Amino acid sequence: MKVIQTEHLVKQYVLGKHVVNALDGVNLEVEHGEFVGIMGPSGSGKSTLLHLLGGLDGPTSGNILLDGQNLSHLTDLQITYIRRRNVGFVFQFFNLLPTLSAEENILLPLIIDGKNRKEYEGRLSEILKRVGLEDRRHHRPDQLSGGE
C-alpha cells in the first residue's frame, strides 16, 4: 500500500522577475513500512519536498497523496488534522517551546489532539528512557544540551 505518492510535483517561487523551480515534475512512491532517504546538494529541493509532503506548503502544480488522499482536494483544516495525526517531522534544529519541559513538549501534540495525558504516561516514560532523557523530563529546552 502506498502511503506517499507524488505525481508530476512542481514547486516554483517568484523572486522579483525570476521564477525559481524548486521542484520540477517529481514522481515518488513510498510503500507502507519502507524507509526512504532524500539526499542532494544544498538548494536541490529536499526541504521543499518535505514541506510539501507534510502539508506545510502547497505545490504549484501536481498531486500529493497521503494514504490515498489528495492534499489539493482538502481544506486547510483537514490538512492540519492529517498533519497532526499522521505526519511527524524531525527537524535539523529543535523546535521546542522554551517555557515547557521536555515532557510537556513531547506531550503537546497529544494534548492539542484532546488525548488524556494519563493514558500516555507509561509510553512517555518508555520514550524518555529510550533516548536517555528519563532524568531530564522536567528540564526546559535551555537546560538541555543540543544533542538532548
Tens-digit pLDDT profile for residues 76-87: 999 988 888 888
Tens-digit pLDDT profile for residues 25-52: 999 999 999 999 999 888 889 989 999 9
Residue 29 domain-assigned (yes or no) = yes
- How far apart (Å, rounded) are the C-alpha atoms in residues 142 and 28? 39
- How far apart (Å, rounded) are the C-alpha atoms in residues 107 and 120? 8
Strand partners, 10: 24, 61
Least confident of 37-46, 48-57, 105-114, 129-138: 105-114
CATH number at residue 76: 3.40.50.300
The number of angstroms, rounded, from the C-alpha of 109 to the middle of its chain's C-alpha atoms is: 12
- Alpha-helical segments (H) within 1-148: 46-53, 76-86, 102-112, 121-130
Check residue 120 and give its pLDDT: 82
pLDDT surpasses 70 at 91: no
The mean of the pLDDT values for the chain is 89
Q: How confident is the model at residue 63 (pLDDT cuts 50, 70, 90)?
A: very high
Amino acid at 41: P
DSSP SS3 for 50? helix
Q: Are residues 69 and 106 in the same domain?
A: no
Domain count, the chain: 2
The grid cell for 26 is: 517529481
The grid cell for 17 is: 522577475
Whole domain around residue 19: which residue ranges?
A: 2-86
Write down the pTM of the prediction. Answer: 0.69
Check residue 93 and give its pLDDT: 64
- How far apart (Å, rounded) are the C-alpha atoms in residues 116 and 114? 7
